[in-house]
Structure 1
Amino acid sequence: MRTTRLKMNLQFFSQEKTEKATPQKRQDSRKKGQVARSAEIPSAFMMIGVFLFMSFLGEWIIEGLQTMIRSNFVYIANWTLTEQNVDLMMKENVWQAAVIAAPLMGISLVMGVVANYMQVGFLVSTDPLQAKLERINPLKGAKRIFSARTLVELLKSLIKITFISAVTFTVLWNKREEVMLISQKSIGDAISLVGSLIVQTGLSVGILLLFLALLDYVYQKYDFEKNIRMSKQDIKDEYKKSEGDPLIKSKMKEKQRALGVNRMIAEIPSADVVITNPTHFAVALKYDPNEMDKPTVVAKGMDYVALKIKEKAKEHDIITTENVQLARALYHQVEIGDGVPEDLFKAVAEILAYVYSIKGYPGGGN
């Protein structure tokens, strides 16, 4: 009973998401469009950009609006109410309004793109656009409505409304004397005053929103890191997936070793001699003076592989000779396909001379 309970506890703790996300997890989340970003930062950037533009080119905007209004009055005074005239006036008004609004729209677009790029860099993901049935699940929808995140968003909205109202009231209160006398001003001065108040209020609110947006980004970063945490089991599973299951890898290595041994054994018939120690090591040598500068190891092995080498040599009448020290030295110092080192030349040459004398061609070669 205790053992079962201990296993359950260990399993529970292994599934608890307490570990920081791995780079692979972060990359997968990014591909799905899941990144730490605040939607408030683009809004704040766009507001500041628009009202800064209006503060520098507000006169141009007002002149454009005045020109459009004057042209309408002049046109209406001399026109006949027909379908063609109404259509023509609407087209002209839409075009003039588009010319005035285009710079504002362009600045909003640029500032929005810049704000998003500063947060997440270049990112294009279609995953959020894919249709998923879980999004229309009423139970999950209810959970989202009454979740802690929704409560935080409500709190953020209340804070924004409170601060924006306070900033707007402060700007208007500071200009209260001018606002009270607006009825005594000319139309041009009144429009200028209203425009100035709008720009001041907009910039003040934009700066406030930017400050709140930076705080929101810190929270979004924290919430994102919390949501992508991984359990120890998740990390193990990811490692197995990326590096491969150790059991499968070991089986693959066994197959690779088996293939390597088979290829090596296939070279035995071309060898001149097999040197053993006599039971644990076996090294097959080949020497052709017309093609090689030095004798070459074509096969080597230990224990079971050494036994297979000796069996293959016996099958093809390859001479086997015992030399404990030389067999060990060749096995440890020389890789398959490499030539014999100089310090072993003499010992190998004596064995090859013995083999050639038995075969009846002391000049060497097969």
Structure 2
Amino acid sequence: MPEESGQEKTEDATPKKRQKSREEGQVGKSVEVPSVVVLLAGVATLYAMAGFFYKRMADVMRSSFSFTSIPEVHMEQALFWMQTYGMQAFWVMAPLLLVVFLAAFFANAFQVGFVLAWKAIEPKPSKLDPIKGLGRIFSKKSLMELLKSILKITIIFYVSWRAVKGEMPHMMRLYDHNVATILLFMVKISFKIFLWVLLAMVFVALMDLIFQRWNFDQQIKMTKQEVKDEGKQTEGDPQIKSRIRQLQFEASKKRMMQDVPKADVVVTNPTHLAVAIQYNPLAMQAPQVLAKGAGSIADKIRSIAKEAGVPIVENKPLARNLFQWVDVGQSIPADLYQAVAEVLAYVYRLKGKGRG
């Protein structure tokens, strides 16, 4: 619809649109953040538990390759060894695997919370369309991924070159050392390069997260018409709501006019406002407003009151206060008791009822 109408997507996505996109698995997240967090957690765990891993794995290797005699190897024996020593190796590496799993889970949860979207993994025939596939290859998103990959390669090359350059004087003297020393030096250099690259990738991941969230917000923007249509679906058509309010008002006005003949007095402004008041001391604690209105409604109240023989009293301040502060069906507030009592007493005297 937006494409056909030519409208631009200029409006921020509504909460309903965001929730729908979330249910479909469309969220603004970066794949770089989990990768970096997993690597950082893995490196930190290996560094902290290096002694534990070395000792335990050495024990596994020692027990698996130590024989008192030449064993008789056959398929069942080989499977038994693989199961036994494989499980031992697994339990040795279990802390590292657990840390990596938790790091991946919380890295994704940090970005988008917990999302379980089955629609995201449903097979879609459109994904097999070669034309759309070419469109995805040459899309803006693919271009950004290419630039990001070039940036990562550049960072890795630069950091590696700086690390190796700083160790060049030490490398030139390795010819006079044994193989173990050379291997240890290579391990240290590799770890140093890996650590510096990882720290640089943290910056890349943060920048990518900011970009992905911004790009996602741009993708789910809505046209003005889409916002209006969603508002109609959520709150109902404004025209229908207006018609319902009009019908409710007409019904309320009809009931109000039916109550005017029951009033003891109608207080007027004298022409703009009219308020019908009833007081039954046996059933009411205070006088009540049966009807009120302005303009044509006030004229209608006065007309019905005249036909029913209800007295009409002009009192501008009282009429304004009753119209402004007392709703239909409510009792008179205490600060208006005296003014209303005076009007009722006047009416009762006119009728000769003598009620106080």
Instruction: Encode CA deviations 1:199-243: one digit per residue, 9 max, x unaligned.
Output: 333323321221221222232233223223333444444455555
In the alignment, structure 1 residue 319 sits paired with structure 2 residue 313:
no
Residues 263 and 75 of structure 1: CA distance in aligned 2, closer, same or farther (over 3 Å): farther
* Counterpart mapping for 1:185-204 below 5 A: 185-186=179-180, 192-193=184-185, 195-204=187-196
CA contact (8 A) 2:53 2:92 kept: yes
Q: Does 1:177 align with 2:171?
A: yes
5 Å matches for 1:204-219? 204-219=196-211
Q: How far apart, in 1, do the equivalents of 2:197 and 2:116 lie?
A: 31
Higher mean C-alpha displacement, 28-37 vs 48-57: 28-37
Once the two structures are overlaid, the 10-residue window that deviates more, 135-144 or 193-202, is: 193-202
Cα separation, 1, equivalents of 2:155 and 2:89: 32
CA distance in 2, matches of 1:230, 1:297: 49
Q: 2:99 aligns with which of 99, 107, 119?
A: 107
What whole-Å deviation, never above 9, does each CA across 1:6-43 have from its counterpart, x for those lacking one? xxxxx74xx22234445554455445443332110111
| Paired position in structure 1 for 2:56 | 64
Pairing 1:21-100 to 2, within 5 Å after superposition? 21-22=13-14, 25-75=17-67, 77-100=69-92
Q: Is the 8 A contact 2:276 2:292 kept in 1?
A: yes
Q: Distance in 1 between matches of 2:77 and 2:183?
A: 30
Q: Deviation at 1:96?
A: 2.0
Task: Tell whether the 8 Å contact from 2:32 to 2:205 is kept in structure 1 after alignment.
Answer: yes
Unaligned runs of 5+ in 1: 1-10
1:353 and 2:349 are equivalent in the alignment? yes
1:156-167 equivalent positions in 2, closer than 5 A: 156-167=148-159
Contact (CA 8 Å) 2:266, 2:313: kept in 1 or not? Answer: no
Partners of 2:173 and 2:136 lie apart in 1 by 45
- Aligned CA distance change for structure 1 residues 331 and 185 (closer, same or farther; 3 Å): closer
Instruction: Look up the match of 1:16.
Output: 8
SS of the equivalent of 2:327 reads coil
Which consecutive unaligned segments of at least 5 residues does structure 2 have? none
Q: Superposition RMSD on alpha carbons, in Å? A: 3.6
Residues 59-117 of structure 1 deviation map (CA, whole Å, 9 limit, x = unaligned): 33233333222222214854211333212201122112212321221121222233223
Q: Corresponding residue for 1:339?
A: 332
Specify the code of the residue in structure 1 equivalent to 2:54.
I
My pick for the range that moved more, 136-145 or 233-242, is 233-242
Q: Separation in 2 of the partners of 1:132 and 1:264?
A: 61
| Cα shift at 1:260 | 1.9
TM-score normalised by length of structure 1: 0.77
Q: 2:323 & 2:229 partners in 1: Cα distance?
A: 40
Deviation at 1:333, TM superposition (A): 5.2
1:154-182 per-residue CA deviation (whole Å, 9 max, x = no partner) reads 22223323433444455456377389659
Corresponding residue SS for 1:320: coil
Aligned partners of 2:313, 2:125: CA distance in 1, in Å? 75
Could you state the TM-score of these two structures normalised by the residue count of structure 2?
0.79
- The alpha carbon displacement at 1:124 in A equals 4.2
Instruction: Answer yes or no: is the 8 Å Cα contact 1:51–1:199 preserved in 2.
Output: no
SS at match of 1:17: coil
CA distance in 2, matches of 1:62, 1:172: 27
Where does 1:228-307 land on structure 2 (aligned, <5 Å)? 228-268=220-260, 270-274=262-266, 281-306=273-298
Post-superposition offset of 1:254: 0.8
Please tell me whether the aligned partners of residues 261 and 310 of structure 2 are also in contact (alpha carbons under 8 angstroms).
no
The one-letter code of the counterpart of 2:84 is E
The amino acid that maps onto 1:220 is Q
Determine helix, strand or coil for the equivalent of 1:16: coil
Q: Distance in 2 between matches of 1:35 and 1:312?
A: 64
Structure 1: distance between partners of 2:21 and 2:176:
56
Report SS of the residue matched to 1:323: strand
User: Which secondary structure does the structure 1 equivalent of 2:310 belong to?
Assistant: strand
Task: Tell me the amino acid that sits aligned with residue 332 of structure 2.
Answer: G
